[in-house]
Amino acid sequence: MQTLEIPVDAQQLVTQTEQDLAIAESFSISSNDGYAQAGEILKTIKGRYRDIENKRKDMTLPLDETKKRIMDFFRQPLERLASAERLIKGAMLSFTQEQERIRRLEEARIRELARLEQERRDRELEQRISQAQQDGDTAKAETLLATATEIATPVVLSQKPRVEGVKTMTRWKFRIVNEALIPREYLMPNERLLADTATKTKGSLEVPGVEFYPEQTIAASS
C-alpha cells in the first residue's frame, strides 16, 4: 500500500490547531478587552480553518478527478447489469406470481371437492345414526357418532423449481389511499414549514403545540 505523503506546510497548519484548541478551552471573558481579544482569536481560528480547508481541497482534487473518471468508466456497464438483473427478476417474479395463482386455484378446487365429500359423509352418517335411533339401538347410534371424522384440509404445494442462491422474499409496504383517515400517531410534523414560519414570523404567529424561540450565534470572518 502506497504511503500518503503530507506536505510540510499542511503538517504545520494541523499542528497549529492543537494550540488553537488549547487556547479556546482555557479562554474566558470578563471584560470588554477580553471580548475584543476573543474576536481576534475567533478571526484567527476562522482563517486557519479556511487555510486547512483549501489545502485539503488542493490535495484531494486530483484524487476526486481520478475517481470521477473511474466512476464514469464503470457507470454504464454497471447500469446495463442492473437493468438486466431487474428484467430477469421481473420475469422470475411474474412466473412466481402466476404459479401461485395456479396453486391457489387448484387448492380451492380440491378444498371444494373435500367440502362436498365431507357434507356427503356427514349426511350419510346422520341418516345411519337417525335410523339406529329409530330402531331403538342406542349403542349403535353412539358408536356411529364416535366414528365421525373430518377430511383433512388439503394443501397444494407450488411446482416452481428451486434455484440455488435464489429465493423469493415478501416485504409488506404501504400506500396512502386517504390521508384524512390516518390516525394521529402515524403523522409527522412538517418541520420544514415550521422552520420557515419561525424565520418569517419571528415567533409572532402562534401554532398550537409548537413553541418558537430565538437562538443566537456568533458569525465571524477571517
| Predicted TM-score of the model (pTM) | 0.58
Q: Which residue has the cell 371424522?
A: 149
Residue 2 confidence (pLDDT)? 62
Query: Do residues 45 and 221 lie in contact, with contact meaning Cβ atoms separated by under 8 Å?
Result: no
The predicted-structure confidence for 43-86, as pLDDT tens digits, reads as follows: 999 999 999 999 999 999 999 999 999 999 999 999 999 999 99
State which residues of the chain have pLDDT below 70: 1-2
Q: How far is Cα 162 from Cα 80, in angstroms, rounded to an integer?
A: 26
Q: How far is Cα 103 from Cα 155, in angstroms, rounded to an integer?
A: 9
Q: How far is Cα 177 from Cα 188, in angstroms, rounded to an integer?
A: 17
Residue 132 confidence (pLDDT)? 85
Q: How far is Cα 187 from Cα 125, in angstroms, rounded to an integer?
A: 58
